[in-house]
Amino acid sequence: MTLKNKNRIFLFLFIFSVIIFLFNITVLCIAAAAKSIVPPINPMRPFVLIPKGGLCPYNFNSSLAAIIAFSLSAPALSIAIFKGFEKTPSLEILFFSGFIISCVTESARILLPLFGFWKTNSLFLIYIGRIVAAGRFLAPMSLFFATVFSSAEELQNAERNIFILLASTCAFGFFYPMDTTITTSTCTVLWGFRKFFAVIRVFIVVVTIFSVLAEAYTKGIKEIYIKALGVVVLAAGYGLLCNTDCWLEFFIAIILYVSGCFLYLKTVHYLENTWN
């Protein structure tokens, strides 16, 4: 993977994610003007940060705000990486493009409450569910690949590893069972074996964190410990933003998500330009 091709990938991601963001804003405005935004009735809440005390009451608008935040973060991250890593041949950043793609897939959730689509038991709901499921599998897998397959020895296998990452994600999204009879408060349909799905994602993140810590211990570079912290904060912010359905969760998720992205990318940039 040449430096020029890497830059082209992130430039394409920027253009594509901008188009998706503008599309989301446009259809949201059209639906709002037509008064066709239909919140789910008595939806299942997949996660509540503080279940007691009434601090996290369900708010449909916070779910929409979380989706828009994901949609906006994709072009923001793409252009930041394109400018900041333009002359840096980093495999780690190349795999991070998968995380950006997962942010784009989250924006598919915005279509569910528009024009009452969630009321229909159709293939459309299944497609939305599969897109979101694939993206939520891709996000932790991208961080894992960025950690495990980013060494200089893996440079010649970059295209193969990227293909494995994307192919496994597509296969997961295509074959994973969906349950379109249950709509969640975060504008998704429910997928089967929900706890198993959550355990898989958490396990991948934990393995990624321990891999970064092992690398830091082996190489004796303290900045890699900071990168591990960045992975923790980023994963926490991403996971909470995926499950946001109240304003308290939204603001906490945004703080964690932005801080995690900044800490992770800044540390990777420092390590690439100082130690490589």
Per residue in 76-121, pLDDT (tens digit) is 999 999 998 888 778 899 999 999 999 999 999 998 888 777 776 6
Please compute, for residue 28, the number of CA atoms within 13 A of its CA located in the half-sphere on the CB side: 17
Average pLDDT score over residue span 16-36: 93
- At 216, list the tokens: 């830091």
Average pLDDT score over residue span 9-16: 95
DSSP conformation class of 197: H
The β-bridge partners of 114 are 37
**CATH 1.10.10 describes domain 3-35+60-274:** no
Average pLDDT score over residue span 201-218: 94
Domain ranges of the chain: 3-35+60-274
Per-residue pLDDT at 121: 65
pLDDT, tens only, 160-177: 999 999 999 999 988 888
Distances (CA, A) of 7 to 18, 45, 76, 82: 17, 40, 15, 6
Please name the amino acid found at residue 157: N
Per-residue pLDDT at 264: 95
Per-residue pLDDT at 113: 87
- Give the integer Cα–Cα distance in Å for 71 and 24: 8
Q: Is 244's pLDDT higher than 60?
A: yes
Q: How confident is the model at residue 276 (pLDDT cuts 50, 70, 90)?
A: low
Q: How confident is the model at residue 275 (pLDDT cuts 50, 70, 90)?
A: low
Please compute, for residue 242, the number of CA atoms within 13 A of its CA located in the half-sphere on the CB side: 22
Q: Are 239 and 198 in contact (CB under 8 A)?
A: no
- The percent of residues in the chain predicted with pLDDT above 70, rounded, is 97
Q: How confident is the model at residue 50 (pLDDT cuts 50, 70, 90)?
A: confident
Please name the amino acid found at residue 60: F
Average pLDDT score over residue span 171-200: 87
Range 25-52 burial, b when 16+ CB lie within 10 A, else e: eeebeebeeeeebbbbeebeeebbeeee
| The model scores a pTM over 0.75 | yes
What count of other Cβ atoms lies within 10 Å of the Cβ of residue 276?
9
Q: Is 206's pLDDT higher than 90?
A: yes
Per-residue pLDDT at 23: 94
Q: Is 39's pLDDT higher than 70?
A: yes
